[in-house]
Structure 1
Amino acid sequence: MDGERSGEAGNPADLFTGLAHKKVYIETYGCRYNFGDTANLVAVLERYGSTCVSTPEEADAVVINTCTVVGPTERRMLRRLAALREKPLFVTGCMPIVQREAILAVCSPVIIPPEAIREASRSIRTIGKESVGIVQIAQGCLGRCTYCLTRMARGPLKSFPEQEIREKIRTYAESGVYEIQLTAQDTSAWGRDTGHRLPDLLSDLCTIPGHYRLRVGMMNPATAYCILDDLIDAFASDRLFRFVHLPVQSGSDHILQQMGRDYTIREFEEIVSAFRRRYPDISLATDLIVGFPGETEEDFSRSLALIGRIRPAKVNVTRYSSRPFTGPFEEKDFPDAVKKDRSRTLNAYAEEQYRALNSPFLGMSLSCVVTEKLRPGSVMARTATYQGIVIGKDLPVGTVAEVCLKKDRIYFFMGDLISAAPP
């Protein structure tokens, strides 16, 4: 491979020349923001005459889009990089920014900074062919979470211009995409660095014509709390899925303080209650970390109790993983067995809540819209509250369907098609 195998090229455009007119395999790890980077990269590579393929074996070059949130994922990525090092290899994402030496210890790739992908994507003003659109509205955050390495990788908050966001949504809507996901490290912080606010952005985006719906991505309770009333008003639009993702991370104020999360459990529950008073059927997703240094049995019990009180539709459970350069890195960690046990307990309890929430819907007929094709003969549809329903039919994205819910798969329903109206 021509070019610098272990560093960035001088001209940002040169970073993509080694991928031009090649069959490229891309492997993506981590959050929706990372998947947004990959979607942007695919659109850029199409301009370079490249073709994306589904396996590394058929590829002329491999791109690994990395995540550094937890240790197990990092180790898995390093194993993959080592296994693929004989291929022309390109690496992007968070790891090259904060853990470059770990990458260079196992391979000698070309590093593509995520910012280079963004700038290249902005210049071509096109989108990829994914069935669910991802629109990045900001990079970085205002947080000071003591466990987080991503904030060091992505830096301080940088809100993207409203007109640029509008244009991307308009392009997705015109291409026939129905579900468009707004993503950032913290979507509710959008505009705090530029004198703007997320509620105003959402209200403006909802005026874009087309057959689509917006899903608002992860919001830090600390920044959502500051704009709560106007944020709730913005969700009145039918353009938004009635779905909020508010990572609480712990049910203990003591642990939240150690994490540097800048809100209390009372404030978190105020946000949840306020949304539910206005929209009783709204879906709530949250995140919890188990085994954080110093988490007592009482702290963990508080997390379980919180899940019982708020009854979320989805809980993303993460076992604490010490990350380099972060506050608790030097603190005594729990044995893996303790973290695994707490993770299993919390997941099992969360699934009890899902079943209780889902049970009344079995046998009901609901309206939904097809958002993506899963495989031949199977599609995913979403209700207005973002409930997932798998339909065993080949239906175009954007189809409005009436479905009878037949089976509860905990995280989604299986449904029988009653009627369908084409997009």
Structure 2
Amino acid sequence: MKAALTTLGCKVNQFETETMEGLFKQRGYGIVPFDEAADVYVINTCSVTSLGDRKSRQVIRRAHRTNPAAIIAVCGCYSQVAPDAIRAIKGVRVVLGTKERGQIVDCVERAMREDGVLDFVGDVRGARVFEDIPIYDSPERTRAFLKIEDGCENFCSYCIIPYARGPVKSREVAHVRREAEKLAALGFHEIVLTGIHLGAYGRDLAADVTLADACRAVLSIPAIKRLRLGSLESIELSPDLFALIREEERFCAHLHLPLQAGSDPVLRAMNRHYTTAGFARLIAHVREEVPGVAVSTDVIVGFPGETDADFEAGLAFVERMGFSRMHVFPYSRRTGTPAAARKDQVPEPVRKERAHRMQALADRMAEAYHNAFIGREMRVLFETEHEGETDGLTDNYIRVYTKDAVRAGELYAVRLESAYKDGVFGRVLAWIDPSNPLRR
């Protein structure tokens, strides 16, 4: 039997798909590319934006066209919040949400024996235990993502995720280390800890643990040469975590701290729990605690009620913050959220124009940040090769390209020489021995 799996959306979804792929391999299924004929198709959906919903539907229909006789199983955020819409798509046989994926192979094999659509979507609001699916196979990447938290209770007025994922659920620290050891044994040098609300890690556990404790658990494994964090809320950074980033050389000096809006009226409307002045103080504190840290962010433009003055204030605030990188999103209306019910929706052409202007600023700031490192020697973990050119990341998340001979998944000392594409071009100086980073 052959299974094909695909992911839409975030790094958390990507990790979850990889764990499900491992479950199928454990049961003897061969894994094939998603565009090939398979007996089972698994689509892990996204519902952060309306575009994610639409892409999810398109992928489901494409799988059905590829093999009309296949079992199509749909899981993830979109199927959690809109199971009726998923069930109505021709070819779908299994519908799961965001807390039943550990049983996906059993669900698929039951569908092979029974007729009709099997719906396993449950109520996530009462889910309080992290779905701890072990890693059974090597992800096909050079950086390994490790999910340690699920759920969110912030209820930002634009976001569907709390309704799709339920409350905060954390992986036990011992299990975090267990999975990190597996990834190290598979040869990964960098681990990225991810979660839906990563900064809330540990709040639900009986033991008094924090995200810093989870980080220490991973860093206790000598074979791990880099640790990076996914997205965090700036108000959740602790002195303990700052000290760990500052003192542990293997901890990447990069934090992704979502701003979402640079206008106080818009932040209040979004139900974000800070002001621009408070955010600026936090960023200044971050840079004081961890000198040289790269701070990237997310910004949403065109939120309901956002005026021209709000947007201009946001542009000016973002520029003052000097982020190393920004992800810019035009607001997307999500049915079921408070923001979707507002009557003062910003017209789509205005949202697009604002997104274009904010992205242009993001590009200029990224270029300025990259240029500040030209001429310096940095450590780069190389990832992908295309037409004789390989690219990878520094610990502060600058993408580096080279035409020198390197091996994907290995660390190299590289001199950054010039601005290039979305990062810089570099000259490789030496391979860094993973068993002894001081030896080349």
Q: Which TM-score bucket, shorter chain as reference? A: 0.7 to 0.9
Question: What is the one-letter code of the residue matched to 1:41?
Answer: M
Shift of residue 203, structure 1, vs aligned partner: 3.0
* 1:81 equivalent in alignment to 2:65: no
Deviates more, 1:93-102 or 1:118-127: 118-127
The residue aligned with 1:6 is: none
Partner Cα separation in structure 1 for residue 245 and residue 103 of structure 2: 31
Shift of residue 239, structure 1, vs aligned partner: 2.3
Structure 1 residue runs without a partner (length 5+) = 1-20
Partner Cα separation in structure 2 for residue 119 and residue 170 of structure 1: 24
Could you state the TM-score of these two structures normalised by the residue count of structure 1?
A: 0.88
| Cα root mean square deviation, aligned | 2.2
* 1:344 equivalent in alignment to 2:323: no
Partner Cα separation in structure 2 for residue 347 and residue 125 of structure 1: 37
Partner Cα separation in structure 1 for residue 312 and residue 154 of structure 2: 26
The residue aligned with 1:99 is: 82
The residue aligned with 1:212 is: 225
The residue aligned with 2:17 is: 38
Shift of residue 410, structure 1, vs aligned partner: 5.2
Among residues 276, 282, 294, which one is paired with 1:265 in the alignment? Answer: 276
| Change over 3 Å in CA distance of 1:56–1:138 after alignment to 2 | same
| Residue pair 2:74, 2:96 contacting (<8 A) in 1 also | yes
Aligned length: 398
| Change over 3 Å in CA distance of 1:340–1:123 after alignment to 2 | closer
| Residue pair 2:138, 2:186 contacting (<8 A) in 1 also | no
Q: Deviations over 1:233-266 (max 9, x none)?
A: 1212122111101111001121111111112222
Partner Cα separation in structure 1 for residue 43 and residue 209 of structure 2: 34
The residue aligned with 1:4 is: none
Q: How does 1:118-129 map to 2 (within 5 A)?
A: 118=102, 122=132, 125-129=135-139
Q: Deviations over 1:41-98 (max 9, x none)?
A: 1221221222322342343332211100011221122122233334321211111110
The residue aligned with 2:48 is: 69
Partner Cα separation in structure 2 for residue 411 and residue 157 of structure 1: 35
Question: What is the one-letter code of the residue matched to 1:295?
Answer: E
Q: Deviations over 1:352-408 (max 9, x none)?
A: 11111222333x242323242345744433323232212335533453322233442
Partner Cα separation in structure 2 for residue 54 and residue 409 of structure 1: 32
| Residue pair 1:215, 1:243 contacting (<8 A) in 2 also | yes
| Residue pair 1:176, 1:397 contacting (<8 A) in 2 also | no
| Residue pair 1:366, 1:383 contacting (<8 A) in 2 also | no
Deviates more, 1:81-90 or 1:236-245: 81-90
| Change over 3 Å in CA distance of 1:152–1:409 after alignment to 2 | farther
Shift of residue 311, structure 1, vs aligned partner: 1.1
* 1:147 equivalent in alignment to 2:158: yes
Q: How does 1:21-420 map to 2 (within 5 A)?
A: 21-22=1-2, 24-86=3-65, 87=67, 88=70, 89-107=72-90, 108-118=92-102, 122=132, 125-130=135-140, 131-194=142-205, 195-224=208-237, 227=238, 229-236=239-246, 237-332=248-343, 333-362=345-374, 364-375=375-386, 377-393=388-404, 395-409=406-420, 411-420=422-431
| Change over 3 Å in CA distance of 1:124–1:304 after alignment to 2 | closer
The residue aligned with 1:18 is: none
| Change over 3 Å in CA distance of 1:409–1:90 after alignment to 2 | farther
| Residue pair 2:152, 2:161 contacting (<8 A) in 1 also | no
The alignment partner of 1:84 has SS state of helix
Identical-residue share of aligned pairs (%): 29
Shift of residue 27, structure 1, vs aligned partner: 2.0
Shift of residue 295, structure 1, vs aligned partner: 0.6
Shift of residue 200, structure 1, vs aligned partner: 2.9
Q: Deviations over 1:163-200 (max 9, x none)?
A: 11111111111211112110011211111222422223
Partner Cα separation in structure 1 for residue 416 and residue 403 of structure 2: 12
Partner Cα separation in structure 1 for residue 133 and residue 210 of structure 2: 26
| Change over 3 Å in CA distance of 1:300–1:276 after alignment to 2 | same
Question: What is the one-letter code of the residue matched to 1:344?
Answer: H
| Residue pair 1:221, 1:263 contacting (<8 A) in 2 also | no
| Residue pair 2:235, 2:282 contacting (<8 A) in 1 also | no
The alignment partner of 2:146 has SS state of strand
Question: What is the one-letter code of the residue matched to 2:187?
Answer: G
Partner Cα separation in structure 1 for residue 134 and residue 220 of structure 2: 25
Higher relative contact order (CA 8 A, sep 6+): 1
Deviates more, 1:381-390 or 1:322-331: 381-390
| Residue pair 1:127, 1:172 contacting (<8 A) in 2 also | no
Could you state the TM-score of these two structures normalised by the residue count of structure 2?
A: 0.84
